[in-house]
């Protein structure tokens, strides 16, 4: 966890989905997952112990609705859920949710929303803002998902980005950030930054590799070409 990171709480009744969402968050510079939990009770316990900036919350939890949690907390929240009932959506937004993503969604969609949330926080970090700042902050929460041509928003072009893509495409198996950094001779932090950008642009996919012990590792692969 770096200084200045936005601390995130991930709440989902399915531990694999929770870990997947946590992996997407952790892949983005400026974000840190502080706790990943699977119930309202566990979320409340984590909130009592840690300070958070953002919660990613499912509606369907084993001991209640995630909307209840959003209504209780005094920090930002987004809903990541399969719930599509209009009443639930209205209740979540009325409770204070800044966003509502319906499962299943592409990893890049969540990454783009989180990057937008980071911009929202930066714009509103000043003690006082202008009307244009307010518009910019609110617009950041709804990033455009595509370019004018209809394709994914491209990651910034660079030689290092090209090397990262070449390493991923040349590998028969998904690669971790450590493997990418070793393959092309850059630091792991730099590899992580480019991998996060490529995931956010839709050029790469991120999934979790589960071992026998310890936290699952993020691994990256290129989408299959049609």
pLDDT band at 189 (very low <50, low <70, confident <90, very high): confident
pLDDT band at 152 (very low <50, low <70, confident <90, very high): very low
| Distance in angstroms between the alpha carbons of the first and the last residue of the chain | 38
Q: Is the pLDDT of residue 111 over 90?
A: no
50 three-state secondary structure: coil
CA separation for the pair 67, 82 (Å, rounded): 13
What per-residue confidence (pLDDT) applies to 37? 96
Burial annotation 207-222 (CB, 10 A radius, 16+ → b, else e): beeeeeeeeebbbbee
What per-residue confidence (pLDDT) applies to 112? 87
pLDDT band at 206 (very low <50, low <70, confident <90, very high): confident
Write down the domain spans for the chain: 6-140, 159-221
pLDDT band at 159 (very low <50, low <70, confident <90, very high): confident
What per-residue confidence (pLDDT) applies to 202? 78
Which residues are CB-neighbours of 89 under 8 A, at least 6 positions away? 83, 100
What per-residue confidence (pLDDT) applies to 119? 93
- Token duo for residue 167: 């390493």
22-52 per-position pLDDT tens digit? 988 988 888 999 999 999 999 999 999 999 9
Share of residues in the chain with pLDDT > 90 (%): 53
What per-residue confidence (pLDDT) applies to 118? 93
The whole model's pTM is what?
Answer: 0.69
pLDDT band at 132 (very low <50, low <70, confident <90, very high): very high
Fold of 6-140: Rossmann fold (3.40.50)
Of the candidate CATH numbers 3.90.1150.10, 3.40.50.720, 2.30.29.30, 1.10.10.10, the domain formed by 159-221 belongs to 1.10.10.10
Mean pLDDT of 195-210: 79
Q: Is the pLDDT of residue 212 over 70?
A: no
Q: Is the pLDDT of residue 69 over 80?
A: yes
CA 195 to chain centre: 13
75-98 per-position pLDDT tens digit? 999 999 999 999 999 999 999 999
Residue with tokens 């990262």: 164
Mean pLDDT of 68-79: 96
Of 132 and 146, more confident: 132
Share of residues in the chain with pLDDT > 70 (%): 89
Residue 124: exposed, middle, or buried by beta-carbon count in 10 A (0-12, 13-18, 19+)?
Answer: middle
Mean pLDDT of 148-175: 73
What are the residues facing 100 on neighbouring strands? 79
């Amino acid at each position: 966890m770096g200084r200045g990171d936005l601390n995130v709480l991930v709440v989902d009744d399915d531990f694999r989905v929770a870990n997947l969402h946590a992996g997407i968050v952790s892949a983005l510079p400026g974000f840190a997952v502080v706790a990943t939990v699977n119930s309202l009770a566990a979320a409340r316990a984590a909130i009592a112990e840690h300070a958070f900036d953002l919660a990613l919350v499912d509606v369907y939890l084993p001991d209640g609705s995630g909307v209840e949690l959003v209504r209780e907390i005094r920090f930002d929240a987004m809903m990541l859920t399969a719930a599509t009932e209009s009443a639930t959506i209205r209740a979540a937004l009325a409770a204070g949710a800044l966003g509502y993503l319906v499962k299943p969604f592409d990893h890049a969609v969540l990454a783009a929303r989180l990057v937008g949330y980071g911009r929202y926080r930066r714009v509103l970090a000043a003690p006082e803002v202008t009307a244009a700042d307010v518009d910019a902050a609110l617009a950041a929460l709804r990033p455009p998902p595509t370019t004018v041509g209809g394709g994914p928003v491209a990651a910034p072009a660079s030689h290092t980005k090209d090397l990262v893509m070449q390493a991923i495409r040349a590998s028969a198996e998904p690669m971790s950030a450590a493997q990418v950094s070793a393959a092309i001779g850059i630091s792991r932090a730099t590899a992580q930054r480019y991998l996060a950008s490529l995931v956010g642009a839709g050029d790469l996919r991120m999934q979790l590799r589960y071992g026998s012990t310890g936290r699952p590792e993020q691994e990256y692969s290129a989408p299959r070409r049609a």
